């Protein structure tokens, strides 16, 4: 039998389903919600409801958005012929943080992972191909993760995207800025040496 009243136990059970939230954290969050004001609790419930009701995928780039096309795809100031391909919508924020990229995005929603049964056909690749053709793209930047799966995805896409006039590039891999070479692992160092540039 539960130690908590039924609505409380239900809230704890629901919170426990969130990533990184265990029983103790779920209890703390549930009691915090219970102690918070009526307005705060309603705002939280409303925000959760709205995120499910109003968000969808952009029909052009597959980014998560509340307007279709998304803000990047509909922006007149962005270079629509420069496409950065990323694995997940969360990766867009990392590229945007640089404040130096003015192109658009394409979200694959995953990467090729044979061991998990994910092949190219499970990714959102077909609309990338169509988009590259229709929008007469000049360059496609493959910004998938530098993992075995991300590399396989990038190599596969580069093969599919080969056509005259289209530049296909891969983001660089190597030593993080501000770090110490002494602590770099073998693979990172190898990639950094391979990708060295002339000054």
Partner 1 sequence: MPLKESEAIVLRTYPFRESDLLVTLFTRLEGKVRGVARAAKKSRRRFGGALEPLTYVKVTYEDRERQELARLDACEVLESPLASEVTYQRAVALGHVAELLDELLPDREANDAVFRLGVSVLSHLRGTEYWLPITYFDLWMARLMGYLPDISECLTCGRALNGSRAFFHALADGLVCPEHKRLASSEMSAESRKMAALMLKLPLSAVDPASFAKLPGADLRKFLLQTLERHIEKKLVTRGMLERMTC
Site residues, partner 1 (CB under 8 A): 19-20, 112-117, 119-120, 146-149, 151-152, 155-156, 159, 183-188, 190-191
| Closest distance to partner 1 from the beta carbon of 22 (Å) | 8
Q: Which residues pair with 170 in a beta bridge?
A: 142
Is the separation of the CB atoms in 81 and 102 below 8 Å?
no
| Pairwise CA distance, residues 171 & 80, whole Å | 19
For the chain, the three-class secondary structure string (H helix, E strand, C coil) is: CCCCCHHHHHHHHHHHCCCCCCHHHHHHHHHHHHHCCHHHHHHHHHHHHHHHHHCEECCCCCCEECCCCCCCCCCCCCEEEEEEEECCCHHHHHHHCCCCCCEEEEECCCCCEHHHCECHHHCCCHHHHHHHHHCCCCEEEECCCCCHHHHHHHHHHHHHHCCCCCEEEECCCCCCCCCCHHHCCHHHHHHHHHCCCCC
Least separation in angstroms between residue 17's CB and partner 1 is 14
CB closer to partner 1, 53 vs 181: 181
Nearer to partner 1, 43 or 189 (CB): 189
Closer residue to partner 1 (CB): 39 or 186: 186
> What is the closest distance, in whole angstroms, from the C-beta atom of residue 122 to partner 1 in the complex?
11
**Least gap, CB of 124 to partner 1 (angstroms):** 16
Residue 190 and residue 31: Cα distance in Å, rounded? 50
Identify which of residues 69 and 110 has a Cβ nearer to partner 1 in the complex.
110
Shortest Å, Cβ 95 to partner 1: 19
Judged by beta carbon, residue 79 or residue 145, the one nearer partner 1 is: 145
Work out how close the CB of 13 gets to partner 1 at its nearest, in angstroms, rounded to a whole number.
18
Between residues 79 and 122, which has the closer beta carbon with respect to partner 1?
Answer: 122
């Amino acid at each position: 039998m539960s130690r908590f009243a039924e609505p409380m136990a239900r809230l704890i059970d629901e919170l426990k389903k969130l990533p990184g939230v265990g029983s103790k954290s779920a209890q703390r969050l549930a009691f915090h919600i219970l102690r918070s004001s009526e307005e705060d609790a309603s705002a939280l419930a409303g925000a959760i409801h709205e995120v499910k009701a109003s968000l969808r995928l952009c029909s052009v780039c597959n980014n998560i958005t509340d307007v279709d096309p998304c803000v990047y795809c509909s922006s007149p100031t962005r270079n629509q012929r420069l496409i950065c391909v990323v694995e997940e919508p969360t990766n867009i924020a990392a590229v945007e943080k640089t404040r130096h990229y003015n192109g658009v995005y394409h979200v694959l929603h995953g990467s090729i992972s044979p061991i998990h049964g994910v092949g190219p056909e499970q990714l959102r690749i077909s609309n990338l191909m169509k988009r590259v053709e229709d929008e007469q793209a000049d360059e496609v930047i493959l910004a998938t993760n530098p993992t075995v799966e991300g590399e396989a995805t990038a190599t596969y896409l580069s093969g599919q995207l080969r056509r005259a006039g289209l530049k296909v590039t891969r983001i660089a891999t190597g030593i993080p800025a501000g770090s110490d070479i002494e602590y770099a692992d073998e693979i990172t160092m190898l990639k950094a040496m391979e990708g060295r540039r002339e000054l």
